């Protein structure tokens, strides 16, 4: 598997990593004070062709174009990660 997308959030807190050979988007901390923690991953319903951060209704989200010609989006639970 190769990685084709690594994106950083505008606020400098998160990194997402995805691959066109995988159905998962991996979410990491971008901050050294968090020890660059791996927060987890979200598995979508198709291989991820591209992914990016977006903000909608003041919430940080990830949008992804999938191999089955659909657009998927999910909210990153920022408040949960603030407690860590």
Are 18 and 32 in contact by the 8 Å Cβ rule? The answer is no
Per-residue pLDDT of the chain (84 residues; tens, 9 = 90+): 678 889 999 988 999 999 999 999 999 999 888 788 889 999 999 999 999 999 999 899 999 999 999 999 999 987 766 655
State residue 34's pLDDT score: 79
Q: Is residue 50 part of a domain?
A: yes
Tokens 């999938």 belong to 66
State residue 82's pLDDT score: 65
Number of domains in the chain: 1
State residue 7's pLDDT score: 95
Q: Is residue 21 part of a domain?
A: yes
Domain that holds residue 33: 5-78
Contacts of 80 by beta carbon, 8 Å cutoff, 6+ apart: none
State residue 3's pLDDT score: 84
Interatomic CA distance for residues 13 and 36, integer angstroms:
10
Are 7 and 51 in contact by the 8 Å Cβ rule? The answer is yes
State residue 80's pLDDT score: 66
State residue 84's pLDDT score: 53
Tokens 């990016």 belong to 52
């Amino acid at each position: 598997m190769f990685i084709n997308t690594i994106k950083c959030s505008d606020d400098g807190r998160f990194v997402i990593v995805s691959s066109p050979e995988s159905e998962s988007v991996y979410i990491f901390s971008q901050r050294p004070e968090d020890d660059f923690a791996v927060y987890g991953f979200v598995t979508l319903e198709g291989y991820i062709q591209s992914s990016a951060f977006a903000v909608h209704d003041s919430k940080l989200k990830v949008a992804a174009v999938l191999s089955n010609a659909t657009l998927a989006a999910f909210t990153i639970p920022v408040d949960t990660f603030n407690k860590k």
